[in-house]
Structure 1
Amino acid sequence: MNKILKVLLLLLAGVLIVLQGLALEAEGTVVGTITLILLALLYKRVTEDKSFYFQAFLVLFTIGHIFSCIGWYGPMIEDDGIDYYYYGANIMYIASYLMFILKIIKAIDFRSAYKELAIPIIVLLILDVFCVVIVSDTTKTSLSAYEYALEFIYNSVVMLLLSVALIDYLYRNDKKSMLFLIGSICIVFSEIIQLAYYYIIDDNYLGFVYSFFLVVAFIFFFLKSQVDYTGPQPVFLDVDDN
């Protein structure tokens, strides 16, 4: 059964990438939702030591996709109406990424990590602010004030996810943290390309690329969930990650 699920997930992931590349976003959202549900099922079946945070990430991200599905197939929003589906989906995505961030923050002794990584952390914070402002400004003329504020928060959380993943890798320097870092990098690439696709360049090729990076990110996140931490580098204090 598990092998069948894995094969089905790979097939659905391929279909999702093709649909997004053909600009069939409504159909792609449905396929993406089904894929997430099956991924959560696979995680539950194959993982002995289940992580609350990863399960919460999958649930919240799936709910976000469900909001997107309702947005495509539900009642039409009037031109001057509030797009609750847009807000609901993005809030769920933000909450899902926060689950990962909270898990890493819980596992790291930041006091000891900061002593060894003070300069990288400061540089990361500066780069985060710079990138969030630059990326968010691409949507400023296309969104309302509230939508722009939500987009700014969304981009901030995504960049924070990448920064925390990098700190986690420098702190632990093990396979699990490396998989998480690669997945986070793919998420950032996916989100930036998706913004370009929606607000700058209407090119179906970008739809293919951002969905590809999203699929790859989830593959690495799932692989990460199947690996145990080997602990921080010897120069850092050990912190229980249970």
Structure 2
Amino acid sequence: MLVNKILKVVLLLLGASYIILQGFALEQEGDIVSATAFVLLTWLYLGWTKHKSKLFSLFLVVFTTAQILGLLGWYREELPEGQIDYLYYIANTFSIVSYALLIIKMCIYLKLKTVLSQLTVPIIILIVLDIFCVTLISSTTEGAFTFYEYALEFTYNAVVMILLSVALINYMYRNNYKSMLFLLGSIFIAFSEIIQLAYYYILYDDANLGYIYSSFLVVAFIFYYLQSQHKVSEPTPTYTDDPLDA
């Protein structure tokens, strides 16, 4: 238990350090802290979580791998102009796969027939909004990427928006504390990714955006960790026919 508590304190300190470093545009140092924090978070989850989820464990491992690959990019030789940055594609693919694992994790526990029958209109609205948002967000960086980089970025944005939509559907269906925490984590992840895109490709290292997107990322994983400590339960009815106690 002592190691568990020490790890949590260290993770909070690393999270605060990461926010400060990103705010000062110290990206290499920030990536070092980020990779270290995710390794420790994965260790904390795998070592001290009573009801572990295989898919959530795999999500943490894959996402942590993406962070480590991103860190390695600082320690290689500079690529000649025009050469393909394979590490960029691999790291982002790992991130995409990690978010896809969360989507699969939620969908496995959803009764699709029930969800489709009860939430038909919200699902249609979310699909339309996702298409609009992904197209709009991706179009802002179209001139900054090659065709293949843009395709990867478009896929990345689409998966993040699908994650947010599925998290919302999951909360509407389950209506419980775990699903609420997961939804909050997904909201912060989505906003963190959008703001990070603006930070790197639109407003070019705006210090305020650095603070914001890094803060959102840290908060997102706090919510994800908190929800991971609760077992998946059956949906909670929104209304009950039981009489209120006098």
Q: After superposition, where does 1:97-116 map in structure 2 within 5 Å?
A: 97-116=99-118
| Residue aligning to 2:244 | none
SS of residue matched to 2:98:
helix
Give distance in 1, aligned partners of 2:7 and 2:170: 31
| Residue aligning to 1:156 | 158
Write the letter of the residue equivalent to 2:157: N
Q: How much has 1:79 moved relative to structure 2?
A: 1.3
| Residue aligning to 1:78 | 80
Q: After superposition, where does 1:57-72 map in structure 2 within 5 Å?
A: 57-72=59-74
| Residue aligning to 1:136 | 138
Match of 1:226 among 211, 225, 229: 229
Q: How much has 1:199 moved relative to structure 2?
A: 1.1
> Does 2:180 align with 1:184?
no
| Residue aligning to 1:238 | none
Q: How much has 1:206 moved relative to structure 2?
A: 0.3
| Residue aligning to 1:217 | 220
CA RMSD of aligned residues (A): 1.0
Give distance in 2, aligned partners of 1:62 and 1:156: 21
Q: How much has 1:233 moved relative to structure 2?
A: 4.0
| Residue aligning to 1:240 | none
Write the letter of the residue equivalent to 1:194: Q
CA contact (8 A) 1:174 1:229 kept: no
What are the superposed Cα offsets for residues 160-201 of structure 1, whole Å, 9 maximum, x if unpaired?
Answer: 000000000001000000000000000011011011111111
Write the letter of the residue equivalent to 2:176: D
| Residue aligning to 2:242 | none
Match of 1:146 among 135, 141, 148: 148
**5+ residue gaps, structure 2:** 239-246
SS of residue matched to 2:162:
helix
SS of residue matched to 2:145:
coil
CA contact (8 A) 2:196 2:209 kept: yes
Q: How much has 1:106 moved relative to structure 2?
A: 0.6
CA contact (8 A) 2:175 2:237 kept: no
Q: How much has 1:227 moved relative to structure 2?
A: 1.0
Match of 1:119 among 107, 118, 121: 121
| Count of aligned residue pairs for this structure pair | 235
| Residue aligning to 1:195 | 197
SS of residue matched to 2:119:
helix
Q: More deviation in 121-130 or 74-83? A: 74-83
Give distance in 1, aligned partners of 2:79 and 2:35: 22
TM-score, normalised to structure 1, is 0.95
CA contact (8 A) 1:40 1:58 kept: yes
TM-score, normalised to structure 2, is 0.93
Q: More deviation in 50-59 or 147-156? A: 50-59
Q: More deviation in 177-186 or 80-89? A: 80-89
Q: More deviation in 85-94 or 126-135? A: 85-94
| Residue aligning to 1:16 | 18
Give distance in 1, aligned partners of 2:74 and 2:26: 11
| Residue aligning to 2:47 | 45
